[in-house]
Structure 1
Amino acid sequence: MMQQGTPGPRVRKTATMDIVGCGAVTSRFHLPALAWLERQGFLRVRYCLDPDVQAAAFVASQFRRARPFRVSAPSSFDGAGAAVVLVATPPEHHSAWAQHYLEAGASVLVEKPAVVTTEQFSRLQLAAREARRAVLVGHVRRLFPSVEAARALVMDGRVGSIRQVEAYEGLRWSWTTRSDFPVRSSAGGVLYDLGSHVLDMALYICGLDDLSPGAVTVEVLRLERWPAQEPSHEVVADLVLRTPSVEVPVVIRLSRREPLANVVRVRGDHGELLVSAWHSRTVLLRANGTSQRLAGDLRSAHTATSQGCFVEEHLEAWRTWALGQEDSPLRLAHFGFLTWLLQRLAAEA
């Protein structure tokens, strides 16, 4: 049976796809989704690129005709001929690879965070406009039913005016990466890893993700991290976001050393929402002395599961290429404020 939101054979085109970055994130999260999509005829993986040729070979072996290549920089590889590319390198290399493939004529799905500086963000936006191609960002939690339900409740005024936002995510780091960027790169710490996910959830739910950095001031009341410089593995931050019309205190707690609540809490003057940082169908609404678990609508049948959300993420990229879809919550334009905020927190002494 055809799943809801999955285009039928009459409109389906097969996208030639390259994968740049074949580390743990690709193998653990993207590979099952892409292998399924290749079997369904949505895409054909052509090349798998990574500085570690064994990692590239493993990923390539999961597809029908994919070829592995040892590549460490865009200048050493010609991306011409790809319709879509997944860029899943360490974050500091996202911008260069994404621009390289845009110039080669491909649409881009780049892992989160999209980039690490506002300068890179502006350059990537310009490159996408000049190439007339789409750049989507892998903030997959925007597709979770609970997150979409929470955003709808906030937009409908069910919690009233927002008085405080709290973002908690922590777990003991236990899985192996194929590179040393989590302990070497300034973008390898918990802020850009878990923090980019849970902060984007909070901003998106509250409708603050499209704020213009030039229209916002940030007062940092408290910022502690361990180690003291990035990449850090614990972050404790309290800040206030201010615009001419909004003032929102924000509490941030992130850890790779210990489990935390793993939740986004939105407090309003009429009630509050609790949204799990993990995949869920429901959101908890507390208002008027009662608590309700409310289920979110599914964007498609795929989003009923966490792994299915990665399928949907790649289908969003496929739709921008094959169907000219423009209204995706994963579009690069939605992540300018997040980029600015993360950069500000990373640089704060």
Structure 2
Amino acid sequence: MRFKVAVLGATGMVGQKFIQLLENHPWFEISALAASEKRVGKPYGEEVNWLVSANVPECVRDMEMVPMDPKHVDADIVFSALPSNVAREVEAAFAKEGFVVASNASAFRMEEDVPLVIPEVNPDHLQLVETQKKKRGWDGFIVTNPNCTTIMLVISLKPLMDLGLKTVRVASMQALSGAGYPGVPSMAITDNVIPFIKGEEEKVETEPLKLLGKFDGKKVNPAPIKVSASCHRVPVIDGHTEAVWVEFDRDVSVEEAIAAFESLKPLDLPTSPEKVIIVRSEPDRPQPRLDRDEGNGMSVVVGRVRKDSNGLKYIVMGHNTVRGAAGASILNAELMAKNGMI
């Protein structure tokens, strides 16, 4: 069965990445593109400043854009690439009217009754949907994916939880595409590192606790770990790199950690990579330019796993607009479709 899907915020960077990844998708077919009022009724190919590949996909080039209003959208699934301040109202309107909303926005991520999901990490949290619908009186529902930096980090932390993980420190080196387009001014980032990304550290410190927490049938109890983050923008186009320090409640060897990383199993879904975590043994990997497209951008790559004075330290890297954004929402929707939630 094929599902009709719509993209909200279709002209932005993440919206474009949704369209690129949905082209030729075996389960999903784009039926509507929604954008701001000034673009309604205009062909997508004429309005969009297409940046993610050579050409606008033919399947959407002549598609007329529609308002971000449930009355004008015919779809089974709505993918949201909206800014958080807009998403708060628009996503709720769609969920209220019976749509399944797979959101990349931060607006609802930390709401107690809204699932924040990475399919290989916490698929059981999707059960929060029933609580959400009952509490809010919605016919549909919202499922969110995490912040792009959080996703890379948490995928690497999930296998370490069983080893007694208790403390995490992370320093991110985040790509320019994470700031959208036009993003960071060239004179600000060329020959430079910017050691501040508004709101980012708060997300990276709080979202993992929900993602790695336990669902008790009614709510998610936060994971009993502590996360401290320092986030930085660097002159790389795509691919977030993170230096991670972890401490455990016992002594954990490098070999144990590597075996744990490699044990995280992929799901049988169209967007799933063959390996969720790829471990590199070279002393200078992973690198964004060399490793960001592993698993079609859906794998995360870990390297430099080594002992630290109080535990272990390693590097994790992933494609921030694929695994960290549009690809994450698509994978969530695939899981929901497989589970009969759509």
Same fold by TM (over 0.5)? Answer: yes
CA deviation string 1:44-82 (max 9, x = no partner): 2122122263894347952526723264x64xx624532
Letter in 2 for 1:314: I
TM-score after normalising by structure 2: 0.55
SS at match of 2:169: strand
Return the offset for 1:265.
3.1
Q: 2:219, 2:198 → 1: CA distance?
A: 19
User: Which one-letter code corresponds to 1:18 in the other structure?
Assistant: A
**Greater strand percent: which structure?**
1
Give how far 1:111 is off: 0.5
Q: Of 209, 213, 216, which aligns to 1:203?
A: 209
**1:69 pairs with one of 65, 87, 92:** 65
Does the 8 Å contact 2:96/2:141 carry over to 1? no
Identity of counterpart residues, as a percentage?
Answer: 12
Residue among 102, 105, 109 paired with 1:109: 102
- Give the aligned CA root-mean-square deviation in angstroms: 4.8
Partner of 1:131: 138
Match of 2:5 among 5, 17, 24: 17
Q: CA 1:316–1:252 in 2, change beyond 3 Å: closer, same or farther?
A: closer
Deviations 1:71-97 (A, max 9, x none): 4x64xx624532110111111111212
Cα deviation code 1:205-230 (max 9, x no counterpart): 7x3476999998xxxxxxxxxxxxxx
For the residues of structure 2 that align with 1:102 and 1:70, how far apart are their CA atoms? 18
Name which structure has the greater RCO, CA cutoff 8 Å, separation 6+: 1
- Counterpart CA distance in 2 for 1:180 and 1:120 is 32
Q: Matched residues in 2 for 1:172 and 1:316: separation? A: 23
- Where does residue 190 of structure 1 map in the other structure? 197
Matched, 1:82 2:89: no
SS of the residue aligned with 1:67? coil
Query: Do 1:165 and 1:202's aligned partners in 2 also have CA atoms closer than 8 Å?
Result: no
Residue 32 of structure 2 corresponds to which residue in structure 1?
Answer: 47
> Is this contact kept in 2: 1:167–1:264, CA < 8 A?
yes
Aligned 8 A contact 1:95 1:115 in 2: yes
Which position in structure 1 is the counterpart of 2:308? none
The aligned runs of 1:101-250 (5 Å cut-off) are 101-115=94-108, 128-129=133-134, 130-139=137-146, 147-148=154-155, 150-154=157-161, 156=162, 158=163, 160=164, 162=166, 164-171=167-174, 173=176, 177-178=180-181, 190-192=197-199, 196=203, 198-199=204-205, 202-203=208-209, 207-208=212-213, 248-250=225-227
Q: Does the 8 Å CA contact 2:104/2:329 hold for their aligned counterparts? A: no
- Once the two structures are superposed, residues 170-219 of structure 1 have per-residue CA deviations (whole angstroms, 9 ceiling, x without a partner) of 2363677347899xxxxxx82445763x44674367x3476999998xxx
Distance 2:159 2:178 in 1: 34
State whether residues 103 and 329 of structure 2, in contact with CA within 8 Å, keep that contact through their aligned partners in structure 1: no
Unpaired runs of 5+ residues, structure 2, are 116-127, 186-195, 275-294, 299-322
**1:140 to 1:14, Cα distance in 2 relative to 1, 3 A:** farther
2:327 maps to 1:314: no
SS at match of 1:69: coil
Q: Distance in 1 between matches of 2:89 and 2:184?
A: 17
- Mapping of residues 258-337 of structure 1, within 5 Å: 262-271=242-251, 286=254, 292=258, 294-295=261-262, 296-300=264-268, 302-304=272-274, 305=295, 307-308=297-298, 309=323, 311=327, 313-321=329-337, 323-325=339-341
Aligned match of 2:311? none
Report the CA distance shift for 1:114/1:34 in structure 2 as closer, same or farther (over 3 A). Answer: farther
Q: CA distance change for structure 1 residues 255 and 33 in 2, over 3 Å: closer, same or farther?
A: same
Q: Deviations over 1:105-156 (max 9, x none)?
A: 210111142438859969x9777443343422133879979955642331x3
Cα distance in 1 between the residues matched to 2:99 and 2:159: 33
TM-score by length of 1: 0.54
In structure 1, C-alpha distance between the alignment counterparts of 2:138 and 2:334, rounded to whole Å: 17
The answer (yes or no) to whether the contact 2:197–2:232 under 8 Å persists in 1 is: yes
For the residues of structure 2 that align with 1:208 and 1:119, how far apart are their CA atoms? 12
Unaligned runs of 5+ in 1: 1-12, 183-188, 217-242, 273-284, 327-349
- State the secondary structure of the residue aligned to 1:262: strand
Secondary structure of 2:91's counterpart equals: helix
Among residues 84, 91, 107, which one is paired with 1:91 in the alignment? 84
The alignment of Structure 1 onto Structure 2 pairs a total of residues equal to 251
CA–CA separation in structure 2 for the residues paired with 1:175 and 1:321? 28
Distance 1:50 1:105, change over 3 A: same
| Distance (Å, rounded) in 2 between the aligned partners of 1:132 and 1:298 | 31
SS of equivalent to 2:20: helix
Q: Kindly provide the amino acid, as one letter, of the partner of residue 89 in structure 1.
A: L
Distance 1:322 1:50, change over 3 A: same
